[in-house]
Amino acid sequence: MTANRLSSNSIEVANAFEAIEAYFERGWSDGLPIVPPTPEAVAAALEAVKLAPDTLLGVEPIKGAVITAEKAAINAVMAGCRPEYMPVVAAAVEAITADEFNLHAITVSTMGAAILLVVNGPIAQTLEINSGVSAFGPGHRANATIGRAIRLIVMNVLGTSSRDGLDKATLGHPGKYSWCVAENEASLPWEPLHVTRGHDINDSAVTVFAGLSGLQFGEHEASTPEGILDAFAQRLYALGPGSHEVVLVVCPEHAEHFARAGWSKAQVGQYLYENTRKPASEWANAGMPSGVGQENGAEPGSGGEELASTLRTPESAVPIVVGGAGGAWSSVIPMWGLGAKTKAVTRLINAVR
């Protein structure tokens, strides 16, 4: 891979500081300083993933914006990625441009969703992607820069930033800077996320979600799956009925109780589906019309009034295990539009087009 095969326009500057300021001035930054994407650095990123610069990674389905390997590599370098992170970035680009993810709607919506990356498999350990203590927090280069690379790609290649007026989020949330974790596979009481989604346990994969701000909570008393899930249920009620997809971030301390009881992911979803149902009138009185009907997970109750669950189906719950061993703190991450018009997408890493 040679630098002179790159096709992007070059900007001549005197030094790295001028390059940083030039990117600020042109609106190509997320508000933080960037790493100048020199031709040599971009070529190294492409070499790491063995892709030619003009390799097509994805096309945004609505606007038809094309994301090539070169454009992805430029933004990955800007984000601070090491070359070896590029396979994850490339696979994530393929995932977010899948039709079912609905990237255009997510990025221009006032709801303010961000792209959450969950990495599974051997590559998570190889790249030291944090899955443990403060996994959603700062301090780990792989997490911070891989997630940031996807954000910069969405901004700069697809043209959706708050500066140009196309990111219309009313509030937004910090995940719009960077949102990337690995699943804590050492603490799993069940199969990893990518295995649930059809891949081999020895595969490396990335799953993308269109997530809203997480709702963190503590449950320090319960020692049974039912008690812990009742705490999850209280947060699900706040979302209203009929979530098509919602991520349940289970901390390792809580996960131990599921392991001890031998619970599966299917049991988690079934319990929440059955135990978060309310009559349609109660949802309406709370300002959350249920839109009752089988398509919203509703079914007749004992009194004749239809009951609507917080989950459309038991499979709507997506448990992942993330976090440090100390502290019984878990979280619920709602999806954009309750997941009705966006679906999680998983792609194998190193298996991009």
pLDDT tens column, 195-218? 999 999 999 999 999 999 999 999
Q: What is the pLDDT of residue 88?
A: 98
**pLDDT tens digit string along 316-337?**
999 999 999 999 999 999 999 9
User: Is a pLDDT exceeding 60 seen at residue 305?
Assistant: yes
Q: Would the pLDDT of 240 be above 80?
A: yes
Nearest residue to 114 (alpha-carbon basis) of 76, 73, 148 = 148
Span 120-167, pLDDT tens digits: 999 999 999 999 999 999 999 999 999 999 999 999 998 876 566 578
pLDDT, mean over the chain = 92
Please give the model's pTM, rounded to 2 decimal places: 0.93
How far CA 173 is from CA of 10, 116, 211, 213, 307, in Å, comes to: 33, 12, 10, 6, 33
Q: What is the pLDDT of residue 300?
A: 56
In the chain, the percentage of residues whose pLDDT exceeds 70 is 92
Residue 350 has pLDDT above 80, yes or no: yes
Q: Is 45 within 8 Å of 77 (Cβ atoms)?
A: yes
Residue 293, pLDDT above cutoff 70: no
